Amino acid sequence: MRRVIYALALALLVAACSKVSQENYAKTRNGMTEQEVYAILGRPTEQSSRDLLGVSATSAKWVAGDQVVNIQFVDGKVVLRSFDKPAAR
C-alpha cells in the first residue's frame, strides 16, 4: 500500500512541476528561437530534425498528462505552434 501511495505522490509531483501548460504555451511566439522556447517549456518530450537543401527543420512535442504542445522550427525559429487538451466530458 505504501508503494502505491509513494508512486501516486511522485506522479502528482512530476505533473505539478511540469512547464507544459496553456499559460506557458501562450508565452511562445512565432520567430522565437529554440532556446527561448526551451526556457519557457523545458526540453521537449519528443523531437526530430531534418535538413533539406540547407534548411533545418525541427518538430518538437511536449507532453504532460493530457496537455500537448507541438512546435515546428525552421532554421531554429518558431514557425508553427499548437496546444491541445481534450475537453472535459
Beta bridge partners of 78: 73
Q: Closest by alpha carbon to 45, among 24, 60, 25?
A: 60
- Res. 18 pLDDT band, cuts 50 70 90: confident
Phi, psi of 58 (to 5 degrees): -130, 135
If one counts the domains in the chain, the total is 1
How many other CB atoms are there within 10 angstroms of residue 63's CB atom?
15
Specify the CATH number for the domain of residue 59.
3.30.1450.10
User: If you ran DSSP here, which 8-state letter would residue 33 be given?
Assistant: B
Query: Which domain covers residue 57, as residue numbers?
Result: 19-84
Residue 54 lies in a domain: yes
User: For 60-82, how does the pLDDT look when each residue is reduced to its tens digit (9 = 90+)?
Assistant: 999 999 999 999 999 999 999 99
- What's the whole-model pTM score? 0.76
Residue 37 lies in a domain: yes
